[in-house]
Structure 1
Amino acid sequence: MHRDVEKILITEEEIRQRLDVVAQKILLEFADDELVVVILLKGALVFAADMCRRLPVKMTVECINVASYHGDIKSSGKVKFLDAKLPEVAGKKVLVMDDILDTGLTMRAVVDSLRELGASEVKGCVLLNKKKERSVTCEADYRAFDIEDEFVIGYGLDFQGKYRNLPYVGVMKQ
């Protein structure tokens, strides 16, 4: 365990097992469809790579660089699209993958933007769903784990750009 981790919340093995379950749920709905998977960078990179390998469907993968934490341990309340251009999704089924659903602001902004671009369907898939009241109405269609309102790092989640490489999800020491 890393010295900046207070406790391991979700182990590598628990992540592997749960992603298999979530992938099966996605396949029940999209087995015969072509998907556009939109990965929200940078946090969802590790999770999305593991999920995509579990989904034997025809897909294209796009990445959107968004930010709402801006280096703090709480969301700033403002979602910034750091890319100038969003992917072509008109008439397509889209699966948005993110690391964590916290305030709901990021997922809501991305889903709304993709719908405005004409996506025929947009679903959200997250590694972690924080059990808390959200700033906006937003729930993920697929989620691997529900967690309490703690600041977590690892498996793609960071604090000031660090700890993404930890193979588990841990609670950061205060």
Structure 2
Amino acid sequence: MEQDVDKVLIAEEVIQRRLDAMALDIRQDFPGEVIVVIVLLKGAFVFAADLLRRLPRMLEIECLNVASYHGGMESSGQVDFLDRRLPDVKGRKVLVLDDILDTGRTLRAVADRLTAEGATEVKTGVLLAKDKKRAAEVQADYVGFDIGDEFVIGYGLDYQGRYRNLPYVGTLSPDAQ
């Protein structure tokens, strides 16, 4: 698996330090409030687990299974909600956590759907935000790292279901594609 990594973009120690800062920002924005945190599966689970351990215990954690990559290296352009039912967010403040802000379609679709379901506020956090023009107008409220427009793996991000367990963010070797 390690031989499939072309280069390490963000080391594990750097990620952990950045999560400390992100948690501080979130705590300041939601002082003492109970919020619903919705983790977008599968990519955000590693990022979310590490971040959420740094936040106060005043959280309700839900998961939402959405897909737009479908195993490929580029977004399909369509966001599919794979769960039949959304978490109950009516009258609640919500924080959505995703692995990467790429085209913007996923975060936009999820935020719009949660707002339609009655959330009073929807904020978003991502580990990575690609520096590129987005298909959907959206900015994350909390961003771990800005990266170039390249395909990345590790720390929850995958290629064809593999590499999620790498403790860092890297690029995939052309030989492994």
Q: Deviations over 1:109-160 (max 9, x none)?
A: 0000000000010000000000000001011000010000010000000001
Gap regions ≥5 residues in structure 1 = none
* 1:45 counterpart residue number: 45
* 2:24 counterpart residue number: 24
Distance 2:20 2:32 in 1: 18
Q: Specify the SS of the correspondent of 1:164.
A: coil
Q: After the TM superposition, which parts of structure 1 deviate over 2 Å for at least 4 consecutive aligned residues?
A: none
More divergent stretch after superposition (93-102 vs 48-57): 48-57
Gap regions ≥5 residues in structure 2 = none
* 2:134 counterpart residue number: 134
Matching of residues 57-68 of structure 1 within 5 Å = 57-68=57-68
* 1:54 counterpart residue number: 54
Distance 1:61 1:90 in 2: 15
Distance 2:146 2:24 in 1: 18
CA displacement at 1:57 relative to structure 2: 4.1
Matching of residues 9-158 of structure 1 within 5 Å = 9-158=9-158
Distance 1:40 1:31 in 2: 23
Q: Name the aligned partner's letter for residue 166 of structure 1.
A: L
Distance 1:172 1:82 in 2: 27
Q: Name the aligned partner's letter for residue 108 of structure 2.
A: R
Distance 1:128 1:12 in 2: 14
Q: Is the 8 A contact 1:73 1:151 kept in 2?
A: yes
More divergent stretch after superposition (24-33 vs 36-45): 24-33
Q: Is the 8 A contact 1:31 1:57 kept in 2?
A: no
Q: Is the 8 A contact 1:6 1:172 kept in 2?
A: yes
TM-score (norm 2): 0.97
CA displacement at 1:173 relative to structure 2: 1.3
Q: Name the aligned partner's letter for residue 92 of structure 2.
A: K
Distance 2:57 2:49 in 1: 14
TM-score (norm 1): 0.98
CA displacement at 1:49 relative to structure 2: 0.5
Residues matched between the structures, number:
174
CA displacement at 1:71 relative to structure 2: 1.0
CA displacement at 1:90 relative to structure 2: 0.4
Distance 2:24 2:58 in 1: 15
* 1:4 counterpart residue number: 4
Distance 1:122 1:57 in 2: 19
Identity over aligned pairs, percent? 60
Q: Specify the SS of the correspondent of 1:163.
A: coil
